[in-house]
Structure formats: C-alpha cells, structure tokens
C-alpha cells in the first residue's frame, strides 16, 4: 500500500440489520444493494486480481484492476464514468502520491492496455512510460530507463483502500455527502439492477 499510515479502522462501516429480501434487485432496500456490491468487489474482483498476479498474469490482473476503478467510479458519479470521472474518483480517494499520475493512469495505462495492449497510449503525446512489475518497492518511481515502476499488488491494495473509504462515505457520511447515495442508487438501478454485478456460478 502506498500510504503506510492508512488504517481501515479509521473508516468504520456500520451495516444495521435489515430484513431479508427476495424480490427484484431494483426494489431491494438500499443496504441490500450496498452489501451486494461491497461483497462483490472485496470477495470476487480483488481476489481475482490477486490470483492473476500469483499465476504470473500481471497484465490480466492490471486490466481487471483498471476496469475496477471504472466500475467504482460509475457508482461514485451515478453514470457511465468518463475519463474525467475516473480521474476525479482517484483524486478523491487515492493516496496523494497518485495526484501527479491519475491523468496518466487513465490515459496511458487504462486506455493503453484496454485499447492498444500496451502500457502507454500511442495516440496521446507526452505520455508517461511504465514498466509493470509483480512487486517493487520503488512504486511510481523512475528507473534508469526513464520508465515508471508500476506494481500490480500495490495498486490493488490502493484500490481496496479507496473502495473502503468511498463506502465509508456512502454509508456513514450521508448527511454531508447525500449525492453519493443518490448516485449509487442511480447506477445500481440501471437496467433494473441487471448490470450491477456479475454472479459467478461455482464449479
């Protein structure tokens, strides 16, 4: 994790007990929706990033990690996230060490990998160049070849950190940030909730 002083204990999330629900997703109580998405990210997506890295598939893990930010940013803004919203989410919830990189992470890494299978965007001049590592303590630092070292496991942990902070604000700061709940429900309810998350069939 980039911010060694951060602790999840500073961002408690209280889920009060709610009655069971078995109807259409779109009509589910807000906390059911929140619980489903929260669990999906922490028990399905983030572990899958870890499994990719452990299997030596760092690029697959990184593509999933970069897509996860798109997914979270959609809930953050209540619509399909553009580059502006992607970067805004990172500016709000990622460690300060990322500030100089958020634009580049979206335009170079995210767009580079998803559209060009390269850790840079060939269509934008003055890009930052990256070397993707399974793990490297010199994260986001230049090496001798003027490329930034980018560790997938550290990035994964910083996404997990951002996710916990965002959900703390969503649940616990509703009075001061009511737009977060409005945006979350707007995003969740698209297509009757069918696009909220993927259910994997075990086996």
pLDDT of res. 52? 95
* Within-domain flag for 132: no
Instruction: Give the tens place of pLDDT for each residue, 60-80.
Output: 999 999 999 999 999 999 999
Work out whether the CA dihedral 29, 42, 60, 101 comes out positive or negative.
positive
pLDDT of res. 194? 83
pLDDT of res. 47? 96
pLDDT of res. 203? 58
Using DSSP, state whether 11 is helix, strand or coil. Answer: coil
pLDDT of res. 4? 84
pLDDT of res. 155? 96
* Within-domain flag for 179: yes
> Mean pLDDT throughout 116-143?
83
Q: Which residue has the tokens 């009509």?
A: 27
Residue 50 in this model has a pLDDT that exceeds 90: yes
If one counts every other C-beta atom within 10 angstroms of the C-beta of residue 185, the result is 15
Residue 21 in this model has a pLDDT that exceeds 90: no
> Mean pLDDT throughout 105-111?
93
* Within-domain flag for 140: no
pLDDT of res. 27? 92
Structural domain containing residue 93: 28-117+153-193
Q: Which residues contact 92 (CB under 8 A, 6 or more apart)?
A: 76, 166
Nearest-10 Cα torsion for 15, 16, 17, 23:
-70
151 pairs with which residues across the strands?
Answer: 133
Distance (Å, rounded) from C-alpha 95 to C-alpha 196? Answer: 27
Per-residue pLDDT band for 81 (boundaries 50, 70, 90) equals very high
Mean pLDDT (the chain, rounded): 90
Residue 121 in this model has a pLDDT that exceeds 90: no
Per-residue pLDDT band for 195 (boundaries 50, 70, 90) equals confident
Instruction: Write down how long the chain is.
Output: 203
Residue ranges with strand state E in 79-156: 130-133, 148-151
Residue 202 in this model has a pLDDT that exceeds 80: no
* Within-domain flag for 73: yes
Of 26-30, 90-94, 190-194, minimum mean pLDDT range? 190-194
Element of type H or E holding 153 = helix 152-172
* Within-domain flag for 129: no
Looking at the structure of the chain, the number of domains it has is 1
Contact criterion met (CB below 8 Å) for 42 and 19: no
Contact criterion met (CB below 8 Å) for 45 and 64: yes
pLDDT of res. 40? 93
Distance (Å, rounded) from C-alpha 102 to C-alpha 100? Answer: 6
Contact criterion met (CB below 8 Å) for 40 and 21: no
* Within-domain flag for 79: yes
Per-residue pLDDT band for 1 (boundaries 50, 70, 90) equals low
Of 102-106, 146-150, 199-203, minimum mean pLDDT range? 199-203
Using DSSP, state whether 142 is helix, strand or coil. Answer: strand
* Within-domain flag for 13: no
């Amino acid at each position: 994790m980039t911010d060694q002083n951060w602790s999840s204990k500073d961002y408690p999330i209280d889920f009060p007990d709610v009655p069971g629900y078995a109807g259409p997703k779109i009509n589910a109580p807000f906390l059911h929706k929140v619980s489903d998405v929260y669990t999906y990210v922490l028990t399905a997506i983030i572990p899958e990033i870890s499994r990719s890295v452990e299997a030596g598939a760092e690029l697959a893990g990184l593509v999933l990690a970069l897509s996860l930010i798109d997914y979270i940013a959609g809930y953050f803004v209540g619509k399909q996230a553009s580059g502006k919203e992607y970067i805004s989410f990172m500016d709000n919830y990622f460690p300060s060490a990322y500030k100089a990189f958020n634009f580049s992470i979206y335009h170079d890494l995210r767009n580079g990998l998803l559209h060009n299978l390269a850790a840079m965007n060939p269509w934008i001049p003055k890009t930052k160049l990256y070397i993707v590592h399974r793990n490297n303590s010199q994260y986001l630092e230049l090496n001798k070849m003027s490329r930034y070292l980018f560790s997938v496991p550290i990035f994964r942990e910083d996404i997990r950190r951002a996710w916990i902070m965002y959900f703390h604000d969503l649940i616990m700061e509703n009075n001061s940030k009511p737009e977060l709940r409005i945006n979350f429900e707007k995003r969740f309810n698209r297509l009757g909730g069918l696009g909220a998350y993927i259910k994997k069939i075990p086996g």
